[in-house]
Amino acid sequence: MAHNEAVSPGKGAAVLEALFHQSPTGLLILDTHLRILRINRIRPDLHGVSQNRIVGRHVSDVYDLSTPGEVEAMLHGVLESGEPVRGRLVGVRRKGSPGPSYLFSVSATRLEDAQGRPWGVLTEMIDVTECERVSLRMRVLGSVREHVGRTLDVVVTCEELAQAVVPDLADIVVVEVVDAVIRGEEPPLSPLGPEVPLRRAAYGHSGGEEQTQAHPVGDVRALPFPTPYAQTLTDLKPRLVTLTPDTPWLAADPPRAEAIRASGARLLITVPLTVRGTVLGLLSLYRTSQADDYDEGDVTLALEVAAHTALCIDNARRYTREHTIALTVQRHLLRLQPAPRSTVETAYLHVPSAAGGGGGFDTFALSGARTALVVGEVAGEGIHAAITMGQMRTAVHSLSALDLEPDELLARLNDTALSLADERSTLAPGDPVPLTGSCLYAVHDPFAQTCTVALAGHPPPVIARPDGTTEVLDLPSGPPLGSVAGPPFAATTVPVADGSVLAFYTEALPRISSAPDTLRRVLSHPGRPLQDLCDDVLYRLRNDGRHSDVILLLARTRAFPADHVATWHVGHHPKAVATARSQALHQLRRWRVDEETAYTTEMIVSELVTNAVRYGTPPARLRLIKDRTLTCEVHDSDSLAPRLRHAKTADEGGRGLFIVAQLAQNWGVRHTADGKTVWAEQTLPPSDRRRPWP
């Protein structure tokens, strides 16, 4: 047959018959009024009646269409314009049938007679139901993987899940989590006991109207037995359940039964949230729409969704647990109630970071009624940062016992940080968080009315004087802790009048409150109670995300009471020892110190003054301080420190410091710019101690 030979009408009819009987594509011929002229039954379950009862009826009388108005407008548009339509997705179900809805890709072409006049529409229908279901499931799974688990919060993770699966996978979703898991505790092993409580963590539904809930979000209760929910958490197998008013297990859970009836839920999938054989919770998916059914493919999808969510919940649980431990460690390391000092009143503000930072502060007594004030932080967060801060705090306490100057103490603290960093690199090679930190170490001397401050990569303090003037101290800052090289640490001594307030803080405070300007405004009234000042700073903080602790330590200075200190010049001759003993004993009687303590103090004075006269350099002085302890200090101008010796039996001397060490609670040597001070402390009975000011 030649290429230009026309197909005869008989052959055309044969082709048309073949298409309608054997084509895998659904075909409908509609007249200009959209009545069915001919049809092939691509899905017999869409019809259920003979073809004679279909032909001649309007298409909307035979099928329930997902968007009947749009479909009819599309077909009329094809008839009027002659422009074909390709690939329009339409949901189709047999008219009045409760059966499933199918999705078709619909194409329409106008049919014309020999004169070009339209007489009908040829509609092609390709069943894409399963293809679209697979595509929809992939979208749901992709959405869950993208949006669920973006935070390390168990409840937020559950809320993200509810938002991700409604309405594509469920019309109603309920997420319940073992209550202990939300607190970060270890999840129970399967099977889950009937007494284990679950918390309703999230609830979601499609549609604008609020659905009736069996229990509100946040409610904690055990699952009733026997129900599919309890069975799923017993054998860890999913359940696909058809819900009817006569479902027998609904009687075991009346609140859920009422909610199911009120919502019109028809189908239920319950899936366990499990990780490594432990039970985290339960995912319940409901279908209320008559157009959508669940099948085994949806159960498989629900299992994949639950597996991803369970991992995210477990990660959040582990983070919650570590965060709780870190805060607990930090809380125990921080001295939340600093011991009262006679010459320094303190108050603090501590706002932990969301992840638990490595910030810390402390105040502790030094010899000579001085007070050390420390604020610092280390890099990182969580339990490792809290433990590292604890190690650094212990190092500061140990170094301060050596009576080091603040700059020298920071230099040795930096050596400690480098040593800890070496240990960390050995235990955890490639640790992404290096051991670095900052520190401020200050020493307040009430007799000199000064404060000596040294900084290691730390912001300088703010001082508020009694007249209300404030100043950010201009101090040189050494390198951060953990630095191998850098300028040396420097100590600066500033005068501090009685009644001044010093403010020490971590670097996070300026970032979220515009400090130190905020501090200067708050401290412009230094006479207010210190805790009120701390609260005032807190109320000015912005609610920004913090990656490190916010710490503010306020210290109000006081001069030491003159009637609780006595100082004498010590002559450089042998008689000076007896004179010093007599002066000390007289002062102790005035202070009404008990005889045993006075006798011990007399011996300590004798030994310390003897050493100063024999081996020291004049001028020398003796000072007694009655505070929480009774302190005896002897200062001379020689920088050479004495050392504790164990004299032999035949030796006539060399036992002085040994005797002092046996009699005193504590003793030491403090070097100054003009010499050294040897001191010894004794414990006083509670009745003899000078009470700190209220």
Digit-coded pLDDT (tens) for 235-274? 899 999 998 888 888 888 888 888 888 888 889 999 999 9
CB atoms closer than 10 angstroms to residue 628: 20
HEC profile for 59-109? HHHHEEECCHHHHHHHHHHHHHHCCCEEEEEEEEEECCCCCCCEEEEEEEE
The pLDDT > 90 percentage for the chain reads 36
Determine the Cα–Cα distance for residues 537 and 349; give it in Å rounded to an integer. Answer: 8
CA dist., res. 158 & res. 309, Å (int): 8
Alpha-carbon distance 328 to 382, whole Å? 11
396 by DSSP, 3-state: which? helix
Q: Name the packing angle between helices 129-147 and 154-165 (round to 10°).
A: 160
| Domain membership flag for residue 329 | no
Cα separation, 677 vs 517, whole angstroms: 40
Cβ neighbours around 434 below 10 Å, total: 12
122 and 216 housed in the same domain: no
Ranked by mean pLDDT, the top range of 116-130, 173-187, 420-434 is 173-187
Average pLDDT over residues 141-149: 90
Beta strands in 113-253 (DSSP E): 118-127, 172-178, 198-205, 220-221, 239-242
pLDDT of residue 237: 92
> Would the pLDDT of 10 be above 80?
no
Domain that holds residue 223: 133-323
pLDDT classification of 693: cutoffs 50, 70, 90: very low
Select from 643, 631, 644 the least CA-distant residue to 600.
631
CATH number where 440 lies: 3.60.40.10
Please report whether residue 333 resides in a domain.
Answer: no
Contact 482, 492 (CB under 8 A): no
Tell me the CATH number at 660.
3.30.565.10
In terms of phi and psi (left: phi > 0; alpha: psi -120 to 50; beta: otherwise), the region of 368 is left
Q: Say which range, 92-101, 313-322, 673-682, has the weakest mean pLDDT.
A: 92-101
The verdict on 500 and 355 lying in the same domain is: yes
Q: Which pTM value belongs to this model?
A: 0.64
**Domain end: 298, 323, 348, which one?**
323
pLDDT tens-digit profile of 22-64?
667 778 888 888 888 888 766 555 555 666 677 888 888 777 7
Q: What is the pLDDT of residues 62-75, one digit of tens each?
A: 777 878 888 888 88
Which CA distances in Å does 127 have to 59, 240, 529?
A: 17, 26, 78
Residues in the chain: 694
Residues 338 and 362 sit within 8 Å (Cβ to Cβ): yes
Please count the structural domains in the chain: 4
Of residues 354 and 76, more confidence is placed in 76
Q: What pLDDT does 124 receive? A: 86
Across 34-38, 380-384, 394-398, which has the greatest mean pLDDT? 394-398
pLDDT of residue 452: 96
Q: Shortest CA distance to 587 belongs to which of 618, 632, 628?
A: 632
pLDDT per residue over 410-449, tens digit each? 999 999 999 888 877 776 555 555 788 899 999 999 999 9
Structure tokens at 193: 């006991």
Is residue 309 domain-resident? yes
Is 548 found in the same domain as 478?
A: yes
Residue (of 616, 606, 555) closest to 577 by Cα position: 606
The answer on 118 and 31 residing in a single domain is yes
* 422 and 348 assigned to the same domain: yes
DSSP state of 497: -
Residue 634 phi/psi, 5-degree rounding, is -125, 120
Claim to verify: residue 122 and residue 139 sit in the same structural domain: no
Highest average pLDDT, of 246-255, 299-308, 666-675, comes from 299-308
The 10s digit of each residue's pLDDT in 82-111 is 889 898 888 787 776 666 677 888 888 888
Q: What is the mean pLDDT of residues 618-635?
A: 93
Q: Please confirm whether the linkage preceding 216 is cis (ω < 30° from 0).
A: no
Q: Looking at the structure, tell me whether residues 422 and 451 fall in a common domain.
A: yes
Residue position matching structure tokens 């009048």: 497
Residue among 226, 230, 265, 232 at smallest CA distance from 249: 226
Give the range among 235-239, 280-284, 285-289, 518-522 with minimum mean pLDDT: 518-522
The helix (H) or strand (E) run that includes residue 26 is strand 26-30
Last residue of a domain, one of 506, 539, 557: 557
CA distance 383 to 325: 7
| CATH assignment of the domain containing 121 | 3.30.450.20
Peptide bond preceding 191 in cis form (omega within 30 of 0)? yes
448 to 48, 475, 654, 690: CA distances (angstroms): 105, 20, 33, 20
Question: Are 72 and 137 found together in one domain?
Answer: no
- With a cut of 50, say whether residue 642 has pLDDT above it: yes
In this prediction, residue 2 has a pLDDT band, given cuts at 50, 70 and 90, of very low
Whether the bond into 338 is cis, omega within 30 of 0: no
**pLDDT mean across residues, the chain:** 84
116: confidence class by pLDDT, cuts 50, 70, 90: confident
Residue 694 belongs to some domain of the structure: no
**Alpha-carbon gap, residue 521 to 468, rounded angstroms:** 10
- Tell whether 316 is covered by a domain: yes
Which CA distances in Å does 76 have to 61, 111, 119, 205, 525? 17, 12, 12, 37, 82
Is there a domain that residue 328 lies in? no
Q: Is residue 354 over pLDDT 70?
A: no
Q: Please, are residues 587 and 580 in contact by the beta-carbon 8 Å criterion?
A: no
pLDDT at residue 67, rounded to an integer: 80
pLDDT at 654 over 80: no
> Token pair of 630, please?
């009774």
The pLDDT of residue 387: 79
Same domain, 199 and 293: yes
Name the DSSP class of 203. E
Measured between alpha carbons, how far is 359 from 642 in angstroms, rounded to an integer?
Answer: 38
Backbone φ and ψ for 521, nearest 5 degrees, come out as -70, -45
Q: Which of 323, 357, 374 is the last residue of a domain?
A: 323
- Could you tell me if 92 and 161 lie in one domain? no
Question: Which residues 6+ apart lie within 8 Å of 157 measured at CB?
Answer: 148, 149, 151, 309, 312, 313, 316
Structure-block tokens of residue 501: 């307030």
Beta strand residue intervals within 525-656, DSSP E: 550-557, 565-570, 620-626, 629-636
Query: 481 pairs with which residues across the strands?
Result: 437
Whether residue 2 lies inside any domain: the answer is no
User: Quick one: which of 385, 256, 298, 295 has its CA closest to 333?
Assistant: 385
Q: What is the pLDDT of residue 188?
A: 87
Do residues 684 and 597 make contact, with C-beta atoms less than 8 angstroms apart?
yes
Q: Which residues of 371-399 are buried (b: 16+ CB within 10 A; e: fewer)?
A: bbbbbbbbbbbbbbbbbbbbbbbebbeeb
Q: Are residues 294 and 427 in the same domain?
A: no
Helix/strand number for the chain, H first, E second: 17, 28
- Is 648 in a helix, a strand, or coil? coil
Domain assignment of residue 330, yes or no: no
Query: Each residue of 101-116: b (16+ CB within 10 Å) or e?
Result: bbbbbbbbbbbeeeee
